[in-house]
Structure formats: structure tokens, C-alpha cells
Chains A and B, each alone.
Chain A
Amino acid sequence: MTYLFRILVLFSIVSISAQNNAFQEDEKLVFTASYNMSGLMTDLAEVRMETSLVNTSKATLLRLKCTATTYSKWDNFFKIRDIYESYVNPKSLAPYLYQRDIDEGGHYKFVKYNFDYKTNTVKSLRRQKSDNFESGFWDRNDNIKFNSGTKDLVSTIYHIRTLDIYKANVGSRDSFTILFDNKETEITLTYLGKETINTNIGNKECYKLAINVSNSDVLKGNNSNVLWLTADENKIPVFAKFKVAVGNGELKIKSVSGLKN
């Protein structure tokens, strides 16, 4: 499931600016994640992407939350309950806090990044279960320098949707940097053109984007990882195909609500 999230994220972008006309608070996108088992696509999990506004004493932030839950039939084999969330500036989508709280087949991991834009550093906390500590957890704190424009996984997914892809020419590429596992990872997105596909929310004309990850073994193949975003103002990610080390899979839109346009 970690792969699924990385993939959704890694299916980033074609930069060219951006004002957020694509989504607003209280938007909810639901996906079905499938995995190819011996040539047959099998539904594995439900992925949800939700947005909401949160108020602190000094600011209003946008909470971007992604959750992954395996279907009940898989729970006895490999139960997944993952939460990835990012608290961002509602206008620029710059992340201030990123939390990754995953529980995959009994393996628990918690990661937190506090972004400090004054010093361009991220205060990172990584927590795992461990019997060697009284608290039951092993914590590791780090400070990481980051380059301007670096985002976390979740805010990158949403950032993609704010890009003016219609201005891009077929074949044009752009690169983006994501902070994941305390490392900055560069991803390159290539615009492959428009394509009309049949989805659960109707026939949609889509922007087709291929994603490649530099120096990473997460995604395999050249242009084997493709994301389809609706070619309208909402730029809903309706379909994604990905190829990882252990096979390939798909993410398909199931339902949408709270769209901005």
C-alpha cells in the first residue's frame, strides 16, 4: 500500500504555475486500488482523498488527508490501515506539517515532518514499535535541509491538480521534488496528450501524464506509470496505472463529491 500512495504521488506534474482552481475544502475522492494477480486485476483496497479546513489560533490551514483501507476479505491476510495527511497553506499549498501513520499487516510506522520556511529545514520524527524501549516505541529525530519547492507526498498530489496542464505541449517534461523517507526524491512528469476514458463517473477527456522517479526503485519501466487527470478545471485523478518491483496495479476512481467546479 505504501507503493500505492507513493505512486499516486509520484504521478506528479507538469509545472507551469498555479492558482488553486481545482479543489476546495470538503472535497472527497474515493478510489479502488487493484493489483494484478496472475493476469487478473483483483480489488485490494479503498483509497480516500479528503480535504477540510482547520483553524489554529493564528491561521487557517487546509488539511489534505489520504487513507487506505483494505477490503474486509483481505484483512485476515494483510490488513492495511494507512493515514497520510498534510496541513498546507490553502493558497500556495506549501506544507507546514506532514504525518504518515501506517499500519500494514501489523507493521506500524509513524513519520512526522514539521516544515520551517524561515530556516528551510524540516524537523523529522520517525517512530516504530520496539520492545527494546519502555514506551514501546523507537523514536528518531532529525533535522533535514530542504530546497525551495520541495513538498511532501500528499501536498504534491494535490499540487499536481493545480497546474495549468492545458498550456503544456505533448512531450513536455517537468521535475518536482518530494521529501519521502527523509530523502528528497526527484520525479519527472511527461505530458503524453489527451485521451478519453470510461470511468465510474462517466466518459472523461483526460490529460495523460507519465511519471518517472530518479534514483528510486519504487516505480519501474519507462512510461509504464501513467496518471489520467480529467481535462477540466477540477483535474480529478480518475485513473492511474503503475508498475512496481512486485507487479503492477491500478487506481480507479469510484466516487467524487464536493468538487469545486
Chain B
Amino acid sequence: MRSLCAILGIISAILAVVLSALPFFNMAFIPAIAALIFGFIAFYLSKKQNLTNKKVQLIFLLTIIALIISTYKAIFYEAEIGNTDALEVREEQGKENALDELDNIEITE
């Protein structure tokens, strides 16, 4: 049980770290919380059985890293649109083509 929780905790923590580095960093909170839960269970069982808890330390370390990165991004990250140069060229071309198409249009009221 202790090993299972530790393994699940490590997997969740690694997933949280990976997600925190990606654009969908918001999703890192879910595995991070799961990692914390598994970590606490593994920690409790380790203490009860008087065993070492190196894996638990690793879980907490990774989870804290993931939470710090995700929280930092959530607070300070300003969403900015990417390069729109090509879009602007297409907009201008679209307008020119449209004006050619519409040149002889007579509006009916």
C-alpha cells in the first residue's frame, strides 16, 4: 500500500511538473493535489512502519516545484497574442479583393 501510494504520488508529481511547464499549466493543479494526497498517505504509512521516506520527499519536492511554477504563471502571466503580421497582410489582401468584387455593386435600399 505504501509503495503503491508512493509510485502514484511520484507519477502525479511528475505529471504536475510537466503540465506546469506547458501552456495548459492550469491543469497542473489537479495532479499536484493528487500527488500531495498520495504523498501524505505514503508519509503516514512510512512513519507507522518506521521506514525511510525518500520517495515521499521526492513527491513533495516535485509537487512544490509544480505548484510554484503554476501559481507564478497563473498570477503573473499576461496572455498576449502571437505574431499577426501575416494575418494583417491577409486582411489587407482580403479588403483589396473585396473592393474589386464590389466595385460595380449598386446598393438597393
Which A residues lie at the B interface, using CB under 8 A?
Answer: 32, 37-43, 45-46, 54, 56-59, 61, 63, 65, 67, 69-75, 77, 79, 81, 83, 85, 87, 89, 91-92, 94, 96-97, 99, 101, 103, 112, 114, 117
Contacts and interface: CB of A to CB of B under 8 A. Distances in A.
B98 interface: yes
B26 A96 contact: no
Contacts of B26: 37, 40-42
B99 A72 contact: no
A56 B95 contact: no
Interface stretch (B9-17, B54-62, B86-94): B86-94
Nearest to A45: B81
Interface of B: 23-24, 26-27, 29-30, 79-84, 86-87, 90-91, 94-95, 97-99, 101-109
Given A40-B26, A42-B24, A72-B81, A54 B107 contact: no
Contact of A32 (B30, B79, B90, B104): B79
A92 B94 contact: no
Contacts of B107: 58-59, 61, 89, 96
A38 B16 CA distance: 14
Given A69-B81, A70-B82, A83 B90 contact: yes
B98 A99 contact: yes
Given A40-B29, A71-B80, A81 B87 contact: yes
Contacts of B99: 54, 56
Contacts of A83: 87, 90-91, 94
Given A46-B81, A57-B104, A97-B101, A37 B27 contact: yes
Contacts of A57: 103-104
Nearest to A43: B79
A81 B27 contact: no
The majority secondary structure among interface residues of chain A is strand
A58 B83 CA distance: 36
B24 A69 contact: no
A65 B106 contact: no
Given A37-B24, A71-B79, A71-B81, A101 B102 contact: no
Contacts of A87: 98, 102
Nearest to A79: B82
B84 A77 contact: no
Contacts of A63: 95, 98
B106 A67 contact: no
Contacts of A77: 23
Closest 6 CB pairs of A and B: A72-B82, A73-B23, A75-B82, A40-B26, A81-B87, A71-B79
Given A71-B80, A79-B82, A91-B109, A61 B87 contact: no
Contacts of B82: 69-72, 75, 79
B105 A81 contact: no
A68 to B, nearest CB: 10
Nearest to A75: B82
B105 A56 contact: yes
Contacts of A117: 108
Nearest to B74: A40
A60 to B, nearest CB: 8
A45 B79 CA distance: 9
A83 B87 CA distance: 8
Contacts of A103: 90
